[in-house]
Amino acid sequence: MNVKEQYWKYSLIILILFMGIILFREIAPFLSGILGASTIYIMVRKQMFFLTEKKKMKNSIAAILILGEAILCFLIPFSIAVWLLIDELHGINLDPTATIDAVQRFSGLIQERTGYNVLSSDNIVTAAGYLPKVGQVLVNSVSSFVINSLVLIFFLYFMLIGGRRMESYLYTLLPFNEDNKRNVLTEINMMVKSNAVGIPLLAVIQGLVALIGYLIFGAPNPILFGFLTCFATIIPLVGTSLVWFPLALYLGLSGDWFNGIGLAIYALVVISNSDNLIRFILQKKMADTHPLITVFGVIIGLTLFGFWGVIFGPLFLSMFILCLNIFKIEYLDPK
């Protein structure tokens, strides 16, 4: 390669990197929708190939059918779950006087048992300062969800239309030999399917198991806190304890130590072990992922990718480790 060809090569690389960084910064707000479309595509690509290659169906018709399936299986169930949660919140008695009295009683219990005044002027001022931020986050989250849902549908349609051509093009871009390409694609396929199926399944089962405990031990608004437990499962390290621990503490400070301690024991023995059992089964059936990769992958993924980080965070970390191993085998180990 002469000097002129080297100049063309490296100038093109710099131009691609420069334009890629600009494009990534502009497309970042829609990253959740793109990742969601990629996740669903991996789950339904075989259906698309079956309809177009075996049944000889037109690409556009097959894509619309699978798109309808994705909406029925993902967007509608999620919307129903949100509607049920809102309906449960609407049924709570929000009478101002009763609410203030309940808060004051709970604060009095904590101060009586611990000596700490929750309703001190400093705490009230701090809490009041967070209220506008919480409202802004909720509004932004709703608008972002709607926009990214539209982006998901749009991208998924064209990914389904592209199909084999898109996959072949991306396959040629992978900077590996044939064996390593197969390893990388197998890892991606297993991780995405494992997390896309396992995380919702884990959330639903733990929510139901927690709901049974809340009903048995007389927790207030058990259905509402059962829903919250479902969503808490995606939070690394603490997970469902964000819900059941305050409930058990509330029952104890309210004087019902029997149910408070009972709920804590039930959560530690049953809810936590149901988490471990489901993860063990999924690892054996799908991707045998190390727990540290799952935990730290979710922590990293939630920061980088938002909601879809629970799937792509562990995948990102697994790909990093896999690339390190490929580099070690190809360039560091003796041939």
Q: What is the mean pLDDT of residues 79-94?
A: 59
What tokens were used for 251? 């029952």
Axis-axis angle for helices 241-253, 257-266 (nearest 10): 160
Residue 304 to residue 313: CA distance in whole angstroms: 8
Mean pLDDT of the chain: 78
What is the pLDDT at residue 158?
A: 92
pLDDT in tens, 132-165: 655 565 556 667 777 878 888 899 999 999 888 9
Specify the pLDDT at position 39: 84
Which of 20 and 334 is assigned the larger pLDDT? 20
Residue with the bigger pLDDT between 14 and 227: it is 14
Structure tokens at 27: 């497309």
Assigned token pair, 222 = 């058990």
Q: What is the mean pLDDT of residues 276-294?
A: 66
Using only the alpha carbons of the chain, give its radius of gyration: 25
Tell me the DSSP string of 23-50.
HHHHHGGGHHHHHHHHHHHHHHHHHHHI
> If you average pLDDT over residues 316-330, what whole number do you get?
81
d(CA 37, CA 214): 36
Report CA 19 to chain centroid distance, whole Å: 29
For the cut 90, the answer to whether the pLDDT of residue 15 exceeds it is: yes
- Residue 188 C-alpha from the chain's centroid: 16
pLDDT digits (tens, 9 = 90+) for 99-122: 556 566 666 666 666 666 655 656
Helix H or strand E encompassing 113: helix 96-114
Which pLDDT belongs to residue 207?
86
Pairwise CA distance, residues 63 & 72, whole Å:
14
Of 236, 327, 217, 329, whose CA–CA distance to 275 is shortest?
236
The mean pLDDT of 279-298, rounded to a whole number, is 67
Predicted pLDDT at 203: 81
Closest CA relative to residue 209, chosen from 150, 140, 278, 144: 278
